[in-house]
Amino acid sequence: MAILEIRFPSQILGREVAMNAIVPDSGNGPFATYYLLHGMYDDYTGWLRRSKIELYVQGLPLIVVMPDGQRSMYTNANEGWRFADHIIEEVVGQTERLLPAKKTRGGRAIGGLSMGGYGAMRLALGFPEMFVSVNSHSGALMRGTNGWHTRDYAEEMSRIFGKRPSGSDHDLVALVDRCRKSGKGPKMLIDCGTEDFLLEDNREFHRGLEHWGIPHEYREHPGTHDWYYWDTHLPEAIQFHAAALRLRRK
């Protein structure tokens, strides 16, 4: 596998941005792409530094792109940056312009952890025409993201989500409902550790999906909100996406 660092000027964010990519160094493209989003306290280098992602995708005809979401929640903030637009238009756009990547919904998957778990769900549900599958590890999946307002992040999250995020493009429940009504949505895998502080948020979202009859996979495993848990269950997410993308390991 080849590892690339790509820098380019973002017109949407108004500054230079960076992302890492793992690219197959053999085989004939174009390849499917897995967009992998970091958590609040990491950056675009986090997955390469803290997990064995390169090892886990060895032999798969799959590009892995790891963009930088800063502390944006990967959404278009009420006051601030338009990170949802940046990921969908510029990260995906540059990936498919610079790398041998497929340019169809059936060739794109997205996932992430914690903040990135929310971000992956927000993007996959908000743009269902873009991604065939999505996964969330330990995601901040509470209804309307109201849970963030009761924690230490109240002021920061208020700038991102606004005072009343329920029903808006920030609200995963509202986005799921739109997908349900349109009859189009990604395949979903959600997992969380049984000792994770976000467990009840994940359970609540899972119960909602069950209530609406939305197909998805939900898993709980022993563990907490840390890299040991995420690295342990990353191969399961890759296997899930490989099936959705119809990939076969060499």
Residue 34 lies in a domain: yes
**Cβ-Cβ contacts under 8 Å for 11 (sequence gap 6 or more):** 90
- Is pLDDT at 146 greater than 70 in this prediction? no
Q: Is residue 197 part of a domain?
A: yes
DSSP string, 132-195: SEEEEES----GGGGGGGGTTTHHHHHHHH-S--TTSTT-HHHHHHHHHHHT---EEEEEEETT
Q: Which carries the bigger pLDDT value, residue 123 or residue 142? A: 123
Q: Is the Cβ–Cβ distance between 172 and 118 less than 8 Å?
A: yes
> Which tokens hold the place of 172?
């995963």
- Residue at 247 is within a domain: no
The mean pLDDT value of the chain amounts to 93
Spatial neighbors of 133 by CB under 8 A, at least 6 apart, are 109, 110, 124, 186, 187, 188, 189, 240, 241, 244, 245
Residue 73 has what DSSP assignment?
T
**Mean pLDDT of the region 224-232:** 98
222 located within any domain: yes
**For the chain, how big is the Rg over CA atoms in Å?**
17
Residue 221 has pLDDT above 50, yes or no: yes
* Residue of 103 and 184 predicted with greater confidence: 103
In a domain, residue 149? The reply is yes
Question: pLDDT band at residue 166, thresholds of 50, 70 and 90?
Answer: confident
Residue 167: which CATH number?
Answer: 3.40.50.1820
Sheet of 2-10, strand order: 2-10, 15-23, 62-67, 32-37, 108-113, 133-137, 187-193, 217-221
Per-residue pLDDT band at 247 (split at 50, 70, 90): very high
Residue 170 placed within a domain: yes
Number of structural domains in the chain: 1
Q: Which domain holds residue 36?
A: 2-240
pTM (2 d.p.): 0.95
pLDDT reported for residue 151: 58
- Within-domain flag for 245: no
> Is 123 part of any domain?
yes
| pLDDT value, residue 142 | 67
More confident residue, 28 or 219: 219
> pLDDT for 8-65, tens place per residue?
999 999 999 999 999 999 998 999 999 999 999 999 999 999 999 999 999 999 999 9
